[in-house]
Amino acid sequence: MLIERPFWQKLIDQAWKQKNIIWLMGVRRIGKTSLCNSIKDITYFDCERPRVRQLFVSDPEGFLEGQGGNKIVLDEIHKLDDPSEILKLAADHYPEVKIIATGSSTLSASAKFRDTLTGRKREIWLTPMLLAEMEIFGNQDLRHRFLFGGFPAFFAEKKLPEIDFNEWIDAYWARDIQELFNVTKRSSFQKFAELLLAHSGGVFKASKFAVSCEVSRQTISNYLSILEETFVVNIVRPYSTHKPTEIVLAPKVYGFDTGFVCYAKGRSELRSEDLGFMWEQCILNEINGQLQTRKVNYWRDKRGHEIDFVMSDRAEDVLTAIECKFTASPDELTLASLAKNFEAFRNLYPEGENFVVASNIDTSFKRNYDGLTISFVSAADLVKKLRAAKG
């Protein structure tokens, strides 16, 4: 049974109003095919099938003419010899044909895409399940979402599907990495990916991983780029204007999904100390998915003050500061602790709002501490405010 996913379906409808080509990207098994097939009156073509590929080899223009004003899905389009040709042809000469092309990486990652269709397409990044979608999939237990992750098929399980996590990692190597990239050392690459997932949210130091994986620092940097291009990691770079007190170079690297992070850590059940970080990971996923952006930073100074996420508003000198807490209360002790980080940040960047986003907040409220205003919000309210600031 196909499940309606209103947020994503609306995003697709809005994108089609701007361009007739949509590049739907996201990791393998994240739900791209199911989402496409949930769209009313759409025709599905699986480009992994030789018979389908032959349609584009023999007469691509005839194929497009035959579609009239149809909505079509070209799933796994990178399997075609020249996938950009059919999309460019459709964009330039068949604007009435609405196409969703799917892939497990950014379009520019594949050497087969000789043209990245700049100005001819809209991109949609299908992230792991959003928090608002938990009800749609029949389970509102946040801890279950943390442990089982945001793949709809994994989330639906009653027993932790460890074998599915392992099979996904093998398929990722065989069907994404081998097909798209020139990576020869499977053991080194997979060890690096697993280490990043296990240390998700940590500050990245290439030299440390180079020793563990027995490859050069340059190779580690190449591996990291591949993992980012295929959405397996999110790189959150430090925000700075190169002030002497700021950390300016070291990025933090987050795994793409809480379930895979737990699997890499060897977790079969959650510990209390996991909850704060899992919540932080989910909030990053909300920002990525709801706002369709990777433009997220963190901030840290050399005295140890830190802001989890920093977002730039339309005016470059206005910054939104976000702290993630699994649970939060506005008592004096909590306020004093939070204020230290916000105050250090606002001493350098005074313009912008300060948010604490917590799982136990239903109704937003504000508190003042020593002249500093801090808003306590739910994940949904945070997204609304960020979207309003984005314009």
**Is 90 exceeded by the pLDDT of residue 197?**
yes
**Is 80 exceeded by the pLDDT of residue 140?**
yes
Work out the percent of the chain whose per-residue pLDDT is above 70.
97
List 23's β-bridge partners, or say none: 101, 123
Q: Where are the beta strands (DSSP E) in 2-63?
A: 21-25, 42-46
pLDDT at 316: 67
Structure tokens at 267: 């977790």
Work out the percent of the chain whose per-residue pLDDT is above 90.
79
pTM of the model: 0.95
Which string of b and e fits 197-234 if b means at least 16 CB within 10 Å? bbbbbeebeeeebbeebebeeebbebbbebbbbbbbbb
How deeply is 23 buried, as exposed, middle or buried, from its count of CB atoms within 10 A (0-12, 13-18, 19+)?
Answer: buried
- With CA atoms as reference, report the closest residue to 238 among 226, 253, 257, 220: 253
- With CA atoms as reference, report the closest residue to 125 among 53, 43, 41, 228: 228
pLDDT at 314: 61
Structure tokens at 42: 């759409």
Q: Is 49 left (phi over 0), alpha (psi -120 to 50) or beta?
A: beta
**Is 80 exceeded by the pLDDT of residue 92?**
yes
The structural domains of the chain, ordered by start, are: 6-125 (3.40.50.300), 131-291 (1.10.10.10), 305-390 (no CATH)
Distance CA 375, CA 354 (A): 6
Question: How many CB atoms lie under 10 A from the CB of residue 261?
Answer: 25
pLDDT digits (tens, 9 = 90+) for 363-378: 999 999 988 999 999 9
Q: Which amino acid is at 90?
A: A
What rounded mean pLDDT belongs to the chain?
A: 93
**HSE-CB for 354 with a 13 A CA cutoff:** 24
Angle between helices 217-229 and 206-213 (to 10 degrees): 100
pLDDT at 108: 67
Contact 76, 48 (CB under 8 A): yes
Q: In what order do the strands lie in the sheet with 71-75?
A: 42-46, 71-75, 98-103, 21-25, 122-125
Across 89-96, average pLDDT:
94
Angle at 148 between CA 147 and CA 152, to 5 degrees: 150
Would you mind telling me the total number of residues written for the chain in this entry? Answer: 391
Predicted confidence band of residue 389 (pLDDT cuts 50, 70, 90): confident
pLDDT at 109: 65
pLDDT digits (tens, 9 = 90+) for 236-248: 999 999 888 898 8
pLDDT at 111: 63
182 vs 64: which has the higher pLDDT = 64
Looking at residue 174, the DSSP 8-state letter turns out to be I
**How far are the Cα atoms of 74, 248, 305, 308, 309 from residue 302, in angstroms, in the given order?**
49, 10, 7, 15, 17
Predicted confidence band of residue 104 (pLDDT cuts 50, 70, 90): confident
Question: How many H helices and E strands in the chain?
Answer: 16, 14
